[in-house]
Amino acid sequence: MAKKDRPLKKLSPKKRLRRIGELVEPFRVTSGKRFRLRDYDPDDTRGLVSKEEAQEYLKTGVALLAEMQDKLYAQDQWGVLLIFQAMDAAGKDGAIKHVMSGVNPQGCQVFAFKAPTSEELDHDALWRTSKSLPERGRIGIFNRSYYEEVLVVRVHPEILEKQKLPRSLVTKRVWDERLEDIRAFERYLSRQGFLIVKFFLNVSKKAQKERFLERLEEPEKHWKFSLADAQERKHWRAYMDAYQDAIAKTATKDAPWYVVPADKKWFARLVVAGAIYEALAKLKLRYPEVGPEKKKELAAARAALMGEAKSAVRDKRRPVAKTRVVAKRRSLSRSSTRTRPATMAPPAPAEELAADTGATAADES
């Protein structure tokens, strides 16, 4: 096996990061100047032809993510926001489930944003997502996000009318203005110590149709299907135009987009895992170092615990059984002494008894 083909888990951290970077780099977008969504093939697998091969990568990636997440939680300085956007049936739920399977649930939060409630409509466009941002040390996952305000709302202007905006603010620039606000919001979060990684799961219209038909043919998947999802296919071109504009105008180095090929679910999950690991690795996470006072506290705790262990060993070696036997004998001796009558004389020796018997016989004769 050539050196470049060594398993991912056997590589040094530096070489491992380089290998993962080579895999995900073609799908990373950090500037919209030359971005064209049509240039990204939904069926691309970067030469990986085997699902089994990709699963080996994914397995290693999941383990590496778990290690990174543990350090993130312990360090408690950075917050991580992962945003997933896609057309229906692109595999967002499955990607989140498989990629984050090894992460400690205590350090991870998932929020799915559906149609806004009446309360949410009474607030600004970023309100409902802002209150769900992750704390430092945690990973927050948005299954759909504030980007819906420039995607589905853009494709369906009637939704915008329900948002109670003053008419004077709804101009031809409303979408550009919202994208400017999102870009500024993400810049603010990055300056506050929040890592932002955004994924567009790029599924083809053909693959979406196949997955819809699969849901209709398999009873256990009927609950996933909605007639509204199928009807949205009529607006496919409008959605692609909206995604093109959103990605091009909000892709930055601090908040990059990844246009992930999603026709092969196994490859999409691999790219997502690799992109998250690569982003976390750049934070140079490590476990907190303790100071002199904390080290003294730890030494005292160790001494106390070791003292308990030595005491337990001494107790174990003590001859408990022999002590109990001796005590029992002493108890029986005291008991027999207490039950003997006080006037009873001790028995005479055998010689005295014999002498007394001879004297008595002589007297009788």
Q: Using 50, 70 and 90 to split pLDDT, how confident is the model at 18?
A: confident
The one-letter code for the residue type at 135 is E
Please determine, for residue 184, whether its predicted confidence score (pLDDT) is greater than 70: yes
Q: Using 50, 70 and 90 to split pLDDT, how confident is the model at 42?
A: very high
The class (CATH top level) of 25-281 is alpha beta
Element (H, E) at 115: none
Q: Using 50, 70 and 90 to split pLDDT, how confident is the model at 219?
A: confident
Please determine, for residue 322, whether its predicted confidence score (pLDDT) is greater than 60: no
Q: Using 50, 70 and 90 to split pLDDT, how confident is the model at 137?
A: very high
Each residue's pLDDT tens digit, 94-110 = 999 999 998 888 899 99
Cα distance between residue 137 and residue 74, in whole Å:
7
What percentage of the chain has pLDDT greater than the value 90? 61
- Ordered alpha helix ranges (H), 224-291: 227-231, 236-250, 265-281
For the chain, the domains span 25-281
Range among 3-7, 14-18, 22-26 with highest mean pLDDT value:
22-26
Q: Using 50, 70 and 90 to split pLDDT, how confident is the model at 24?
A: very high
Is the separation of the CB atoms in 78 and 72 below 8 Å? Answer: yes
Task: Decide which of 28 and 330 is more confident.
Answer: 28
* Residues 6 or more apart in contact with residue 146 via CB below 8 angstroms: 125, 126, 129, 182, 185
Show the CA angle centred on residue 105, arms to residues 100 and 106, nearest 5°.
140
Is the separation of the CB atoms in 278 and 24 below 8 Å? Answer: yes
Each residue's pLDDT tens digit, 241-260 = 999 999 999 999 999 999 99
Please determine, for residue 285, whether its predicted confidence score (pLDDT) is greater than 60: yes
